[in-house]
Every structure is written in C-alpha cells, then in structure tokens.
Amino acid sequence: MALSIETFKNQHGDPLFKALGHPLAADRAGTLIDRLAGAKRLALYDPFGCAAAFAALYDFSVVRPTALFVQDVGDIGRKAMGCRAQPVTDLKASRADVVFVAAFDARRPIEHIRSFLPPGAEVVSFDELRLPDDMIGHRGAYLDARNFSTNFAFFRDQGGRHTRLVSVNYWAGYGGRDVSLYLRLLAADGGTLAQWREPLPNAAATIVIDSRVVRQRFGLGDFTGQLFIHVVGAAGHDAVKYALDVFSDDGTELSATHDANAWPADFYAGLPAPRAGERVVLWIQNSHPCPIPAGAVGLNLMGSQAAVSLDSAIKPFGSHALDVSTLLPQARWPEQIEIRAGRHFVRPRYEVIESSGRAHIAHVNVERTDLKPDPRIPELSNLLGKGYLLPAPVLPRDRWRTVLLPTPMATTQVDLPLALRLHGPDGQLVFTRFLGRLPRDGRTAFAIDEMLDGDTLPDYGHLELVYDFAEGGGADGWMHALFRYQDKSSGHVSETSFGAHVFNTALTYRGEPQSYAGRPPGLSTRLFLRIAPPPIETVCHLIYAASTPWLPRSSTDIILYDGDGVEVAKQRVEIACNGSLFFRHSDLFDAKTRKSAEGGYVVVRDTTCRLFGYHGTVHGGAFSLDHMFGY
C-alpha cells in the first residue's frame, strides 16, 4: 500500500510531491477539487505524467474525468483515472466544459494546445496551488528544487519535555539573499497550531527554534507534533539541515538527533527492539495532506517477511506514537525491526523509555530498494585501500560504554561481511577483529569494552567498520550500524546511527569521497557544531578517517561565531591520520570568550582533509550524541 508518488529520481529528490503536498497548497486543494468535481464534462490533460501524484495526495474520488489526454505518443492507450489515454490533438472532440492541465508553469503547455480546446472550455491547472510569489526565489522554474527546500522536525513541548532546533543560515554562504523561514507547527491530529515567517539576516547567523518560546509566543498548551520548515530563498542546494535537542526539565531525557531526510521512503531500518523493562516508541508522523490508511504501515523483525500492520489510520500531517511491542511483542534487543513505510513519512524518530523514566530519542535510516551487491567492491582494495568505512567514537572509557550493532540497510543485503578496526587518538591501530559474515537476521551486538584486552586502548579513540571478504559475502557500499553509548554511573543512554563512506583518497568511485558542494572527491571539511546553552556542556568527537594513507596530520580550525555569524575566536588543532580528537567546548575557549559568543555556534573547518564528526551535550549524568552535519 505504498503511496503512488515519486520522491527520489536519478539520485536527486523529486520536488513535485513537495509542491503538491505543501501545507499551503493543501489549504487550496479543496477549492480546486470542488471546481473539478462540478464540471459536467471534465477532460484531464497530463503532459508530464503528474496527475497520478495529485490523485495520490488528495481525495480524487469525487472527480470523474470523462477523457484523458497525453502529449507523448508512447503514453497513448495507457489507462488511468478510469480513462484510456488519447492524443491531445483529439481534445476538441471531448466537448469538455473544463480542461484540467496537470502541470505547474502551465502557461506554455496550455498555449501549445490552445487550438485543440473545446469551444468555451474553462482551463485550470496546478498553478491554482502555487505558493505566494514572495516564497518563490527561483522564478525560472516553479519546480526548481531550491523553491522547495523543506523538511519536517519532531517537535514537542509537553509534560516538562521540550525540543530545540538549531541550524545556521548557510544559504547566505552560497549567495542567498533575504532568506526567510516559513514555519507551520502541526498538532498530533494534523491541525495547524501556529504558522509564521522568520526573516534571517544576510549572514551565516544562528537559527534557533525553541518549543518553549513558540509555546509562549502563540499561547499554546501542551503539544507533540511536527514542525514543517520551508527555507524561502535557498541557494546552493535544497537540503534543510539542523540539529535537534530533546530534553526534559527533570533531567531524565537529553538527546540529540538531526534533520529528518526530506524524501519519504518505502522502508526504514535500524529500529532497535526493546530490552527488558524498556518501551520503544516509533513516532510515525505523516508527511502528506492525505491520511495514512489503516494497514499501510507495518513492522517486521529484520530478516523476516512476517509483517504486522498498524490497524489504525493517521490523519493528514498527523502524528502517532506506536509502541512497537503492540505489533511485535516478542522482539527483544539486539533484534532489529524493519519499518514498511510506503513513502508516507520522512525518516522517523524513535524514543526508548526505561522503567525508571529515563528516555532517549534517535532516528532510523532509509533502507534502499535500488541497490544490489557490487562485485567490484572486493576488487578495489588495491586502489581504495579500506574503501568504504564507517567511523564512530569510542567515548572516554572511564565514563562511557560503547556498543556496536551492525544494521542491514538495503532490501537486497543478505549478509554483511564485516571487520572492526580500533584506533587510538594518535592514529595507531589497536586491533582488528573479523566480526563474521553476519546474516540479515543477525542478532549480535558487540560491546567494545568486552572486546578489549585490558587497557590496550587509550582513554578514548574510534572504531571503523570495514568490509572483510575472508569468508565471501556481498557488498553494496550501503553499510550501516547503530552505536549505543551508556554512562557507567547514571545509566543514561544515547545512540546514533549512520552509514559508510570512502574517506580521503584522490580516486573516486560512485560519487565517493562524497562532496557537500561540487564534484567528488570531497577532501575538505566544514562541519556545524551547535553550542548548547549553559549550564549544559557541548562536546565534540572529530575523526580523521582515511581509506588510503593521506596527510599525516590535519590542519583543523575550530572557529567560534556569535549568533550573528561574526567570528569571535579560532583555535588550530591537529589530528593524526586515522586518529581522533574528543573535546569539550570549554577546553578550547575560556569563559570570557564563550560568554561573548553566547547564542552562537562553532564551525570545524579544514581544507586539507575530510573529517567526520559527532556532537553532543553533557548535563549531570545525562548526555546526548549524534553525528554532525556539513554544508
């Protein structure tokens, strides 16, 4: 029961569904559908194959086209909307009183068929759903992806639990001028609690949206829902990236997660099953103006086809807290759960709630349906060395435990042939361990402390997952894992998950080493580190991973900015190749400097190598950790 929309084409997002399903477009769609339903004879002209997406996102049942017309002769004869497609040159014979052109920027397509229109016919199009002109920064093409730089964020202010979204106007660095935010806060039932515009300075200034401030500004009560974010005037690229802190007044919850990945997918994976005494709640948050039907979303244990469906519907833009034990009561950590999402929602969060009341929140990842094992990957070690690798922190061992859970993240992955490499902060390889040719339904978590022999690893370091084909197996490059960290004293847990990349090699393969801007290889670093408000401490773990030998040491600048995007201070650090650096914000900048930059952020900048970073916060026995974003 997947939603019949295209969200991703040719490695790029398809903005059509965003344009049709935008909350402002949804506000107008009812009026358009009423006009179409009122036609005596309705002809549908679908020149670009966009009508199906509109019918998928809205209740089109009251609209009954009497004829369907197409432009491409290859489409003649296909059946859709209860009609068989005819050439648009036959449109006049339809005697339609309304012609619906399923296209934005419809002036030219309409002009092309002007001579074929039935006499007196009214012509309407998707342009009835257009956003206001002051929200269209790129006028040349309405469906320019930058016109729909949108995303969703889990957003809550309820029962002493809050959320704080932080980003930066990085579009200004790409030449964006007069950038602003259109924001809509959506309730659990999908209704609108508030909507507003936020102008941004023409500089790389901090963006902060705090649920407590929003609540006070609009006089709201408790809410748990989602925040729709539209960056108006985006330049450079259309990705909306942010860090999201989730925290509670009583200190039982402190979590960090990041942007939701704005392209709804068929499957997500990496959802951990609960341990004894835990509840795992999956937050299903509808990304569209149509309901999610009962039975359209399901869960199954990884490696099993026995899916159990959610038997209730979810309202347009609505939110539903699904306790996974209601569908899979037998699931127990370290089992993993696969989510059958049907393109109904963007990458969701999940919340792990312990019997003590402590909780942490994290996200799952997109499970790819378009990959298959690549036989070239095992043959590339002579050129790409370690090739694809997945780096993650081993946090200071006197305080934190580190646990690794490999997670299948493509529907065609039947096994994961993996090895684990542990490095000290100085780049020295401590040990390598073959983990096995892990099956798709694998149930093995690896506790790093238990794998170490005494104190062979310094206080902290990092681990790398790499492919190891000693016993065969396939690889597609989409290697993922979940990393769980636990405070040894308080018991507080934080977890994050991510996928592999090729790091720091001049050769390229399938778009790797990935570049945020321009063509690969990506051999430089610009990472965003949000600074938590005092008394919460900000921590960072930078990893200098390298698939092949690269420069012996990095030349990394840690640059502190104030809230207006003005540089306040800079510290140069060097990280050994294959090494890492764990630091607190206060280790690098004194109290006076930090005070002068309050409300600001840090950029990790290096033009000599690509670093991978994790950001976190520490407050008493609670802490958070997630990977940083670059731009």
Model confidence pLDDT, tens digit, residues 393-446 = 999 999 999 999 999 999 999 999 999 999 999 999 999 999 999 999 989 999
For the chain, what is the mean pLDDT? 95
Q: Tell me the pLDDT band of 7, cut-offs 50, 70 and 90.
A: confident
Q: Is the pLDDT of residue 161 over 70?
A: yes
Burial class (CB in 10 A: 0-12, 13-18, 19+), 461: buried
Q: Is the pLDDT of residue 185 over 80?
A: yes
Which run of H or of E encompasses 122?
Answer: strand 122-125
Collect all residues with Cβ–Cβ distance below 8 Å to 136 and sequence separation of at least 6.
Answer: 130, 142, 147
- Which pair of tokens denotes residue 190? 């999908």
Task: Provide the pLDDT for residue 124.
Answer: 98
Find the radius of gyration of the CA atoms of the chain.
26
Among all chains, which residue has been given the structure tokens 């966009």? 50
Task: Round to whole Å and give the CA distance between 351 and 614.
Answer: 20
Q: Tell me the pLDDT band of 259, cut-offs 50, 70 and 90.
A: very high
Q: What is the dihedral of CA 628, 629, 630, 631, to 10 degrees?
A: -160
Q: Is the pLDDT of residue 31 over 60?
A: yes
Average pLDDT over residues 538-566: 98
Task: Round to whole Å and give the CA distance between 478 and 13.
Answer: 18
Q: Is the pLDDT of residue 10 over 60?
A: no
Task: Round to whole Å and give the CA distance between 33 and 508.
Answer: 49
pLDDT tens across 338-384, in order?
999 999 999 999 999 999 999 999 999 999 999 999 999 999 988 99
Task: Provide the pLDDT for residue 260.
Answer: 85
Q: Is the pLDDT of residue 202 over 60?
A: yes
Q: Is the pLDDT of residue 456 over 80?
A: no
Q: Is the pLDDT of residue 12 over 60?
A: no
Task: Round to whole Å and give the CA distance between 625 and 402.
Answer: 12
Residue of 631 and 21 predicted with greater confidence: 21
Task: Round to whole Å and give the CA distance between 151 and 23.
Answer: 12
Which run of H or of E encompasses 28?
Answer: helix 23-37
DSSP assignment letter at 21: H
Collect all residues with Cβ–Cβ distance below 8 Å to 115 and sequence separation of at least 6.
Answer: none
Residues 261, 347 contacting (CB under 8 angstroms): yes
Q: Is the pLDDT of residue 11 over 70?
A: no
Cα of 275 vs its chain's centroid, Å = 26
Q: Tell me the pLDDT band of 269, cut-offs 50, 70 and 90.
A: very high
Q: Tell me the percentage of the chain whose pLDDT exceeds 90.
A: 92
Collect all residues with Cβ–Cβ distance below 8 Å to 24 and sequence separation of at least 6.
Answer: 131, 132, 135, 182
Task: Provide the pLDDT for residue 452.
Answer: 80
pLDDT tens across 599-624, in order?
999 999 999 999 999 999 999 999 99
Ranges of beta strands (E only) in 424-553 are 429-439, 446-447, 461-467, 480-487, 493-499, 501-502, 525-530, 537-543
Burial class (CB in 10 A: 0-12, 13-18, 19+), 201: middle
Task: Provide the pLDDT for residue 569.
Answer: 98
Task: Provide the pLDDT for residue 518.
Answer: 83
- Write the DSSP assignment of 263-314 as a string of letters: S--SEEEEEEPPPTTEEEEEEEE--SSS-B-TTS-EEEETT----EE--S-B
- Write the DSSP assignment of 30-83 as a string of letters: HHHHHHHHT-SSEEEE-TTS-HHHHHHHS--TT---SEEEESSGGGTT-EETTE
Task: Provide the pLDDT for residue 455.
Answer: 60
pLDDT tens across 102-130, in order?
999 999 999 999 999 999 999 999 999 99
Average pLDDT over residues 504-521: 92
Average pLDDT over residues 24-51: 96
pLDDT tens across 484-510, in order?
999 999 999 999 999 999 999 999 999
| Closest residue by Cα to residue 573 from 620, 540, 601, 547 | 540
Task: Provide the pLDDT for residue 80.
Answer: 86
Task: Provide the pLDDT for residue 517.
Answer: 75
Task: Provide the pLDDT for residue 18.
Answer: 97
Residues 350, 280 contacting (CB under 8 angstroms): yes
Residues 200, 207 contacting (CB under 8 angstroms): yes
Q: Is the pLDDT of residue 251 over 90?
A: no
Task: Provide the pLDDT for residue 313.
Answer: 98
Residues 353, 361 contacting (CB under 8 angstroms): no
Q: Is the pLDDT of residue 183 over 80?
A: yes
Task: Provide the pLDDT for residue 387.
Answer: 97
Per the rule left: phi > 0, alpha: psi between -120 and 50, beta: everything else, 504 is: left
pLDDT tens across 466-481, in order?
999 999 999 999 999 9
Neighbouring CB atoms inside 10 A of 139's CB total: 9
